[in-house]
Structure 1
Amino acid sequence: MRFWHKILLAVLALFIAALDVSVIMVMKKSWQLNMDSETQRAASEQLLIANNIYENLNSIQTRGTRITPILLASVAQSYSEYYRKQGIHLQLWDNGQRVYPSRAGTPASPDSGTRDPAELLDEQSIQLSSPLPAPYQHLQLVYQRDISGLFAKQQELSRFFVMINWIVGPVLLLLLYLLIRQLTKPLKLLSETSKTIAEGDYSKRVQLRSKDEFGELALNFNRMAEAVEHRVTALSEMAEDKQRMVDNLAHELRTPLTSMQGFAEFLTTANIGEEEQQTAGRYILSETLRLKNLAFKLLDLSVLRHQALTLRKVELTELFQAVEQSEQPKLADAGIKLHLHHTIPQVWGDADLLASYLVNLIENAIHASKPGSTIQLLAYEQNGDAVLEIRDTGAGMTAEQAKRVFEPFYRGDEARSSEHGGAGLGLSFCRQIAEAHKARLSLDSVPGEGTSIRLFLQLHNNCPLIL
């Protein structure tokens, strides 16, 4: 059974039950009030008739007439005939003997409740009995008022209520059906959207503009769907990156391992001279160093992804001097000059990682530049940020190369990278360093003209110092 079916049946049952109980209570209260009113009216009329009979008997005694049973019956009959038109029946008893109306056989006491079916009314009547005032307290007046009309009205009202139930029930069922279907329409939209998302269409959203609880639910659902879509997209991209990294790593390892195996077999099985042994040994050593550098780079990337940085004040003069001293042998071998210039004294970051960042970029610039050219290492302020820039006039990159250059194991120029033993992890490591500093990294490159890579850091005076 669907949710809206349950709501429909529950609301219908509760409404009809509440309506029936309310109407029955109203009818019962109305009946009680009517009965109280009729009882009070009957008591007033019975008292009035008793007083009239009392005064009539006093008047007869005053004239000296003796009160006999026949006279009592005559007096009672006169009043009975008058009130009978109003649905009132009277009886007069004298010391337990019924005087009016007369009847054959042994009379019954009015207090005993014994009635003559031919002369007394049925249960649809009000009966009152009280003695006349002294000195006629031996006389008892029995008053009966017909209230069958009241019972008839009550029965008519009950029939009308049953008829209303038969009419209101279907009408209420139809109205509740239309109302609940409209109210639960957002749930249907949510269900359909959830099913679509579960089938793989993460771009689906609930189109609901109401401002009630369903509107809030739809808004939160859309936020959740958007977060799920972003998460799934990120996971898909991550899975693709990991697969590409595994493929590239396998490619990087296959060539040196195959060569090392070949030269190792050559050294152990062939009768070769000392010069050939040195050549094979040097190649095995160079490939071993290459694999070691690759392993260290991968370890650095892993540590950087899982370890938060503690940023401190970094003096640019000391940083630039350390980088220049580290790269001076390679610069000298390549015949390239390094030009240092900074217009700001400090930046906010991790000195060791920033040094690794600059070293990787300078080495890439050395490989891309020609002898006699100059590489610039700059630091300056731009729009409230500290910018570290490496600029060269080397081979440059195409737009496609620039787009993928920060991916792990990507090498834009396979021949040049293999020549210098690169594994394509340097710029990926630089990107990780930038992300660890929550910094922005930009690259501008023109084929044949050179490349400029800028890192936007926070200035030291924008952050509290940690000494």
Structure 2
Amino acid sequence: MKFWHKILLAVLVLFIAALDVSVVMVMKKSWQLNMDSESKRAASEQLLITNNIYENLDSIQARGVSLDPALLVSVAKSYGQYYRKQGIELELRENGLLLYPVQDGGSSGQEEVRAAQEEHIMTLAMPFPAPYEHLELAYKRDISGLYAQQEELNRFFVMINWIVGPLLLVLLYLLIRQLTKPLKLLSETTKTIAEGDYSNRVKLNSRDEFGELAFNFNKMAAVIEQRMSDLAGMAEDRQRMVDNLAHELRTPLTSMQGFAELLTSANIGQEDQIKAGQYILSETMRLKNLAFKLLDLSVLRHQPLLLAEVDVATLFETAAQTERQRITDNGLLLHLDSSIPAVWGDADLLASFLVNLIENAILASQPGSTIRLLAYPQDGEGVLEVQDSGSGMTEEQRRRAFEPFYRADPSRSRAYGNAGLGLSLCRQIAEAHQARVELQSVPGQGTSIRIFLQLPNNCPPTL
């Protein structure tokens, strides 16, 4: 049974029960008040009749007339005939014996029994005051009209129940369906999210608790959608990394296996041995470089940095010394220019950052061109920049430049032993410094990569 079904049945039953109980109590109270009113009226009329008969008997006795049964019957009959027109029956008894009305034999007894058993007759009996205490006057009044009125009210109440019940059912159905509409929307949206559509939202403009619930639900759905998108992106990046790593390892390992088998053969000249050994050595160095780069990436993900003031001149000299031989071998020039004394960071990681950028610039540059290593202030931050005037990058290449194993020029990068991890490592070094990286590149004109670091005078003292 659905929730709105339960609410409908519960409210309908409770309302009808409360209505019935209230009406029954009102009718019962009304009946009681009517009966009390009739009883007071009957008592008042009986007292009035009794006093009148009493005064009449006193008057008769004062004239010296004896009060025999015949006279008593005559007096009672005169009053009885008068009040019968008003729906009142009188009975006069002497010492318990019925004097009036006079009835014949069994017929009189049957009438008395019927009168006693008639439930719509209100009967009051009281003795006369002294000296007529042996006489008793019974007052009987027909109240069948009051019972008929009560039965009419009962029938009207039943009719109201038959009318109000279905009408209330229809109104409650419309009202509860409207009130529980937000729950239906939440249920449908939850179902679509459970089926994988995380973009669905609850469209509910309301200021009540349901509106607040819908607002919080939409916030939760947005967070879930973002997390799922992030997880999907991470899974895609991880899968691409695994695929690229497998691709990187397959080619050199296969070649190394072939040259190793060549070295173990009996018929091979010294020149071939040297050639095979050199290839195995170069591929071993490339795999070592790949392993070290992957290790650096792993360390940066899990190890916090202890930042300190880094001298820019020393940092530039370290990076230049590491790459000077490769720059010379490729016929390039390295230009250093610094207008700030220091930045805030980790010296070893920043050196690795610059070395990786210089290596990429070497691969992209033509002999005779210049690679520039710059440091300068900008908007309260220290900027380290590596510029080259090489081949540059397209929009697609710029978008994917920081992905692990991505190469703008795969064939050339592989020939120089590059695994495509340099810029990915640079991005993680920047993230570890809580710094941002900018890449600008124009095809055929060169590439510029900057990292924005805090200056020592803007940083808290090291503890």
How does the TM-score come out when normalised to structure 1?
0.88
Deviation track 1:404-445 (CA, whole Å, cap 9, x = no partner) reads 111110111123312321100111111122233333221001
What do you get for the CA RMSD once the two structures are aligned? 2.9
Alignment of 1:75-114 (within 5 A): 75-103=75-103
Q: Which moved more, 1:321-330 or 1:14-23?
A: 321-330
- Closer, same or farther: CA 100–403 of 1 in aligned 2, 3 Å: same
Is the 8 Å Cα contact of residues 92 and 141 (structure 1) preserved in structure 2?
yes
- Closer, same or farther: CA 373–39 of 1 in aligned 2, 3 Å: same
The residue number in structure 2 matching 1:427 is: 423
The residue number in structure 1 matching 2:200 is: 204
| AA aligned opposite 1:124 | H
Task: Return 5+ residue gaps in structure 2 as ranges.
Answer: none
Could you tell me how far 1:341 is from its partner in structure 2? 0.7
| AA aligned opposite 2:410 | E
CA distance in 1, matches of 2:303, 2:140: 102
The residue number in structure 1 matching 2:319 is: 323
The residue number in structure 1 matching 2:371 is: 375
CA distance in 2, matches of 1:138, 1:308: 120
Is the 8 Å Cα contact of residues 125 and 145 (structure 1) preserved in structure 2?
yes
- Closer, same or farther: CA 343–70 of 1 in aligned 2, 3 Å: farther
The residue number in structure 2 matching 1:20 is: 20
Q: Which residue of 272, 277, 281 corresponds with 1:281?
A: 277
CA distance in 2, matches of 1:201, 1:209: 22
- Closer, same or farther: CA 65–390 of 1 in aligned 2, 3 Å: farther
The residue number in structure 2 matching 1:336 is: 333
- Closer, same or farther: CA 344–223 of 1 in aligned 2, 3 Å: farther
Other structure's SS at 1:445 match: strand
| AA aligned opposite 1:352 | D
Is the 8 Å Cα contact of residues 337 and 372 (structure 1) preserved in structure 2?
no
The residue number in structure 2 matching 1:10 is: 10
The residue number in structure 2 matching 1:73 is: 73
Deviation track 1:358-402 (CA, whole Å, cap 9, x = no partner) reads 222122223323445443333344334443322222332222211
- Closer, same or farther: CA 43–342 of 1 in aligned 2, 3 Å: farther
- Closer, same or farther: CA 314–59 of 1 in aligned 2, 3 Å: farther
- Closer, same or farther: CA 129–382 of 1 in aligned 2, 3 Å: farther
Q: Does 1:439 align with 2:435?
A: yes
Deviation track 1:319-362 (CA, whole Å, cap 9, x = no partner) reads 44443444444445444324041436432x44433332222212
The residue number in structure 2 matching 1:145 is: 141
Deviation track 1:218-244 (CA, whole Å, cap 9, x = no partner) reads 333333333333233333322322222
The residue number in structure 2 matching 1:162 is: 158
Q: Which moved more, 1:368-377 or 1:411-420?
A: 368-377
Other structure's SS at 1:117 match: helix
The residue number in structure 2 matching 1:45 is: 45
CA distance in 1, matches of 2:290, 2:76: 131
CA distance in 1, matches of 2:271, 2:97: 158
- Closer, same or farther: CA 28–342 of 1 in aligned 2, 3 Å: farther
Q: Which moved more, 1:192-201 or 1:252-261?
A: 192-201
Alignment of 1:355-366 (within 5 A): 355-366=351-362
Deviation track 1:192-248 (CA, whole Å, cap 9, x = no partner) reads 444444444433333322333333333333333333332333333223222221221
Deviation track 1:105-137 (CA, whole Å, cap 9, x = no partner) reads 69x99xxxx981355571113222222233333
Q: Which moved more, 1:353-362 or 1:328-337?
A: 328-337
Could you tell me how far 1:34 is from its partner in structure 2? 1.4
Q: Which moved more, 1:114-123 or 1:59-68?
A: 114-123
CA distance in 2, matches of 1:77, 1:363: 140
- Closer, same or farther: CA 455–80 of 1 in aligned 2, 3 Å: farther
CA distance in 1, matches of 2:157, 2:212: 43
Q: Which residue of 448, 454, 457 corresponds with 1:452?
A: 448
The residue number in structure 1 matching 2:240 is: 244
Could you tell me how far 1:257 is from its partner in structure 2? 0.3
| AA aligned opposite 1:84 | R
Other structure's SS at 2:112 match: coil
Is the 8 Å Cα contact of residues 316 and 336 (structure 2) preserved in structure 1?
no
CA distance in 2, matches of 1:119, 1:152: 19
- Closer, same or farther: CA 385–48 of 1 in aligned 2, 3 Å: farther
Could you tell me how far 1:140 is from its partner in structure 2? 2.4
